[in-house]
Chain A
Amino acid sequence: MRRFIQMPPQLFRIFLLAVGIVTVYLIARYFLTPASFGQYGWYRGEALAELAARQPIYAGKKACEECHSDEYQKLIKHEHKTLSCEGCHGPGQAHADNPRKDNIAKSSFAACLRCHEANPSRPKFLKQISVKTHYTGSKCTECHVPHMPLEVP
């Protein structure tokens, strides 16, 4: 032990400095490593919960069914059964939390054309129309029921 301490002083100072740096590093690591670090892997486990904490904006089809089960039943029994309510009516979490008439969009003409306007890239199973030649009136709903597309109004 004594012989070790009696190493040349210039080396001893460097040794002390190295020990000091490592000690400072270990203390800093002890204090600053997040508690959840390493919970699932080499990252802060709490980040997952933080990312999950945000509130959704789209409520999902189930939330619509709670109040609008009549329209929902029509929808799922007909050709448009795979469509989501919020695809045409817009995001609905605000409406689901506080149902009012002014916080949900009324669907329109544009919502129909978004899928059904003819485009050569679209797959053949989809019914497509060219709006210029199909009908010159103003509303799709004059002839079609969006929730039951094969029925006549």
Chain B
Amino acid sequence: MSNQFSRRSVLGKIGATLAGLIAAPAAKAAKTVVQKEFVTSGAPKGYDPTQHKWRMAIDANRCIGCGLCAEACKTENHVPAGPYFRTWIERYIITKPKAGSGEARGEVFVDCPDGGMHGFPEPPVPKEEIQHSFFVPKLCNLCEHSPCTQVCPVGATFDAPDGAVLIDPTYCIGCGFCIQACPYGCRFLSPITKTAEKCTLCYHRITRGLKPACVEVCPTQARIFGDLKHPVPDDPLQQFYQNNLVLALKPHLGTEPRVFYAGIDKEVR
């Protein structure tokens, strides 16, 4: 180690430091150029997602199956025509049991013609044979432990800090893992963009202070939307939590849905 401070080594070190000093800003400048070209895009700012906690709730007692929500969602979000829905309505019909059959309930019929967008036809069983019948609006359950975000191989889908589960369409490769992972069937592969799509809670609306389109058009307030961090006077969401015993769909899966339902039956999944 006698040559530790030889002329060559000292000059080498000085050279390397100088090169580093020149290279660091050059690399930074080059990085911004590369990012401008390939990575970023100029999107507006001004909304802080950490300051909100959006929640949706469904009061199935009040749903009349008009289908306005499903239709408004399609229009608002440019959802492709055909069997693609970000929200839809299901009709459940539970028949009376056959006399003396020893059963509590008869058969269960579930249908959803065209997402319920254009209403529902006459029930498949006569009115007298129906024990219970009701409508259930469905949408992304905005799970706390969302299986869809866990399986995404490219990290394109994520849990935003304000409670929405979103997809970054520029990163989605359209592999469809998330569609299989979602136990509620809330995602689909868009035939137009070839990327996965789902309910965004109308992210472009809620960030502007509007309600999601489905909540806006619902005539009976079966859909309830609010911000847990900024409750308004007579907050409909707080009232919903106070006045109802609520259920989540498929609680045994441990997904911890943030969408709560009131007035649904055990047959609803």
Q: A51 near B166 (CB under 8 angstroms)?
A: yes
- Residue from A34, A53, A115, A123 in contact with B39 in the complex, judged by beta carbons closer than 8 Å: A34
Known: A51-B166, A83-B219. A121 touches B39 (CB 8 A): no
Instruction: Fill in one digit per residue for A57-88: 1 if any B CB lies within 8 Å of its CB, else 0.
Output: 11011000000000000000000101110110
The reply to whether B158 and A42 form a contact with Cβ atoms under 8 Å apart is yes
Residues of B within 8 A of A32 (CB): 34, 38-39
Docked Cα-Cα span, A21 to B47, in Å, equals 40
Q: Are B64 and A123 in contact (CB under 8 A)?
A: yes
Given A53-B44, A54-B204, A120-B133, A86 and B72 touching (CB < 8 A)? Answer: yes
Which of B119-127, B137-145, B177-185, B248-256 forms part of the interface with chain A?
Answer: B119-127
Q: Which B residues, 172 to 225, have Cβ-Cβ distances below 8 Å to chain A?
A: 200, 202-205, 207-208, 210-211, 213, 216-221
Question: Which residues of chain B are within 8 angstroms of A91 by Cβ–Cβ distance?
Answer: 72, 75-76
Contact partner, A55, options B31, B130, B200, B204, Cβ 8 Å: B204
> Residue A7 at the B interface, CB < 8 A?
no
Q: Contacts of A53 on B, CB cut-off 8 Å? A: 43-44, 204
Contacts A87-B217, A114-B68, A115-B219 given: A34-B49 contact, CB under 8 Å?
no
- The chain A residue sitting closest to B221, CB to CB, is A82
B50: which A residues are within 8 A, CB to CB? 40
B residues less than 8 Å from A80 (CB atoms): 219
Is A31 interfacial (CB 8 A cutoff)?
yes
CB of A119 within 8 Å of the partner chain: yes
B66 at the interface (CB under 8 A from A): yes
* Nearest CB in chain B: distance from A36 CB, A: 7
Instruction: Choose one: B40, B76, B122, B166; the contact of A57 (CB below 8 Å).
Output: B76
A142 cross-chain contacts in B, Cβ below 8 A: none
Chain B residues within 8 Å of A, Cβ to Cβ: 27, 30-31, 34-35, 38-41, 43-45, 47, 49-50, 61-68, 72, 75-76, 91-93, 119-120, 122-123, 127, 130, 133-135, 155-156, 158-161, 166, 168, 170-171, 200, 202-205, 207-208, 210-211, 213, 216-221
A interface, CB within 8 angstroms of B? 30-36, 40-44, 46-58, 60-61, 80, 82-84, 86-87, 91, 114-115, 117, 119-123, 125-126
